Amino acid sequence: MGSPGLLRLRGVVKRFGSFTAVRDIDLDIVEGEFFTIVGPSGSGKSTLIRLLVGMDEVTEGEIWLRDKRIDKTPANLRPTCMVFQSLALFPHMTVGQNIEFPLKLRKEPQDKRRARAEELLDLLRLPRSYYDKRISQCSGGERQRVALARALAFDPEILFFDEPLSALDYRLRKTLEKELKDLHARTGKTFVYITHSLEEAMVMSDRIAIMKEGRFEQIAVADEIYSAPVSRFVAEFMGEVNLFPLSAGADGRIASDALSVRPGMRLSQLTPGSGGLLMVRPEYVRLAGDADGFDFSLKGIVHGEYALGSRIQYEIETVNGMVTVEKLREDRLTATEGQTLVLGFNAENTHFIGEAA
């Protein structure tokens, strides 16, 4: 990914009156990485990216780009560029004029502007004939590519993205997710992306930061956040999950009101006298003829079956609430609604979240 610490935040705080939107953020973004900030509405992610771009001023803290402090630098003097959800293209201009706009501001000669615009059309896989096309004649996906070309015309050190795909239909969004990832690889630029869509983040990102109430709950690669979340919030935010209260007595023996535990079962993360939540993702829960062979098991009644494309999801009602089971379509359960099942899973497919989390 290149040298570390291209963009560094130290103790960054943003307050609006008595409300604190961003709380004491420390962050290092590596040169050349695709870094995505994910969180629910109101988590502070949009405020944070506005601070990074320079649209808002920090209340406390410092933002550094390489060896230069930039938190007091106006947005138009920072070597960064933002791609907005609204795209902010000029409807009265052609595609070429939109792409050339930053170059015109720099007073680049027309022939150089045209040459660069055509290079960027090639890069974004738009025909050069689009140079004279009106923005109003472009589809949603084409406008997205024009906005990206214009951002790249600035030749920024970092490109920031504020939910640019959220208004597009599903198929186009999936296509552009892959194109953005490919564009990132081809340009070598640093991308900082915000979204509320976990799926977007997992498809495109090198690292993901999960944000809650103005703070980062966890920053890691997608696989680590999915399989080893640090808190209940992250576990539930990262998709369907089953969570079971678990504790260990003074002798280390595991106890659970929700699960039958194999005798002698131990978890290295569960120390004597402690407790927390045992997490298992729906794809690891198996149908068992009986409890033999599983570290953890429980009984439930089939409540519902839901088709999710190539996968089938089942809701199983237990005495302690619903448990979710997920199968590939070809491995679907033969059980019918109302049928009682024994379910099981093994410790190697679980993750323990301690009480403090």
pLDDT tens-place string over residues 83-134: 887 778 888 899 999 999 989 988 999 999 999 999 999 999 899 999 999 9
In sign, the C-alpha dihedral spanning 132, 134, 138, 144 is: positive
Nearest to 351 by CA among 202, 156, 218: 218
pLDDT tens-place string over residues 214-245: 999 999 999 999 999 999 999 998 888 999 99
What is the distance, to the nearest Å, from the Cα of residue 312 to the centroid of all Cα atoms in its chain? Answer: 24
- Residues 354 and 351: their CA atoms lie apart, in Å, by 10
User: Is 271 strand, coil or helix?
Assistant: coil
What local confidence, expressed as pLDDT, does residue 197 receive? 85
Evaluate whether 163 touches 87 at the Cβ level (below 8 Å). no
The answer on pLDDT for 4 being more than 70 is no
**Band (1; pLDDT cuts 50, 70, 90):** very low
The answer on pLDDT for 291 being more than 80 is no
pLDDT tens-place string over residues 34-73: 999 999 999 999 999 999 999 999 999 999 999 999 999 9
**Band (9; pLDDT cuts 50, 70, 90):** very high
What local confidence, expressed as pLDDT, does residue 174 receive? 87
Looking at per-residue pLDDT, the higher value among 337 and 355 belongs to 337
Per domain, the residue ranges of the chain are 243-354
The answer on pLDDT for 355 being more than 90 is no
The answer on pLDDT for 31 being more than 50 is yes
What local confidence, expressed as pLDDT, does residue 332 receive? 81
Per the structure block, which two tokens stand in for 191?
């991308």
What local confidence, expressed as pLDDT, does residue 271 receive? 85
Judging by beta carbons within 10 Å of its beta carbon (0-12, 13-18, 19+), is residue 257 exposed, middle or buried? exposed
What local confidence, expressed as pLDDT, does residue 2 receive? 43
In the chain, where does DSSP find H-type helix?
45-53, 95-105, 110-123, 140-153, 170-187, 198-204, 222-227, 232-237
The answer on pLDDT for 30 being more than 70 is yes
- Residues 351 and 253: their CA atoms lie apart, in Å, by 17
pLDDT tens-place string over residues 146-187: 999 999 998 899 999 988 887 778 888 888 889 899 999 999
CATH topology of domain 243-354: OB fold (Dihydrolipoamide Acetyltransferase, E2P) (2.40.50)
Q: Return the DSSP state at 349.
A: G
The answer on pLDDT for 328 being more than 60 is yes
What local confidence, expressed as pLDDT, does residue 135 receive? 92
The identity of residue 94, as a single letter, is T
**Band (356; pLDDT cuts 50, 70, 90):** low
pTM of the model: 0.87
Strands 190-195 and 34-38: parallel
Angle at 197 between CA 141 and CA 165, to 5 degrees: 15
The answer on pLDDT for 336 being more than 90 is no
Question: Who's near 112: CB < 8 A, 6+ residues apart?
Answer: 103
What local confidence, expressed as pLDDT, does residue 289 receive? 65
- Mean pLDDT score of the chain: 90
